[in-house]
Amino acid sequence: MTPSTLAVLIAGLAMLAALVGYFSRLRAKNQGFGPNSIKALGTILFIPTILILAVATPFHSEALAALLGTLAGYLLSRGTDRDD
């Protein structure tokens, strides 16, 4: 097994484990989906996907940096309009 295949397998398993943990936590707290839940779910799915793309495909570092910048902007956004 090559190191890149192992990294993809670990990232995929981490994504599945995080999803199971996240949904079990939502069920334990008896909560539904809200804006923060959607952000957390997107993060759980997006970060391992970027890691898989970085390892398994010949993406340029600029493209991966743009994807990470998009994720950072999404996570740091407020989601509501401010009256400034």
**pLDDT per position as a tens digit, 50-66:** 888 888 888 888 988 89
| pTM of model > 0.85 | no
CA distances from 30 to 16, 25, 27, 68, 76 (A): 21, 8, 5, 32, 26
**Domain boundaries defined on the chain:** 3-76
pLDDT band at 31 (very low <50, low <70, confident <90, very high): confident
Can you tell me the distance from the alpha carbon of 3 to that of 9, in angstroms, rounded to the nearest whole number? 10
> Mean pLDDT across the chain, nearest whole number?
84
